[in-house]
Amino acid sequence: MGDQFAIDRLERLRSSIDNIDAALVHMLAERFRCTQEVGQLKAKHEMPASDPSREARQIDRLRRLAEDAHLDPEFAEKWFNFVVAEVIQHHTQIADEHKA
């Protein structure tokens, strides 16, 4: 069954992982609350749902942050692109609702 130290350590690590997962979910929820407001502002002022130049700057920034944190920059970029695709979908939906 493994020695007790390894079992205890595994449980502590899993507990930390669970806490981190919870924090990530809450942070994503807050991020989406902010981007929903951005979507409302863009729709109200008839601005495009997507801002490719900002997205490019953010990708560069996140890749640098990932490198500094010893995280694969490719993974950070994939994560960002996934989140941004969802945000753009929300912004498009908000804009469509504003037009109706």
| pLDDT, tens only, 53-72 | 999 999 999 999 999 999 99
Taking the model in full, what pTM does it have?
Answer: 0.81
What's the CA gap between 49 and 56, in Å, rounded?
Answer: 15
Contact 90, 35 (CB under 8 A): yes
Task: Using the predicted structure, report yes or no on whether residue 1 has a pLDDT greater than 70.
Answer: no
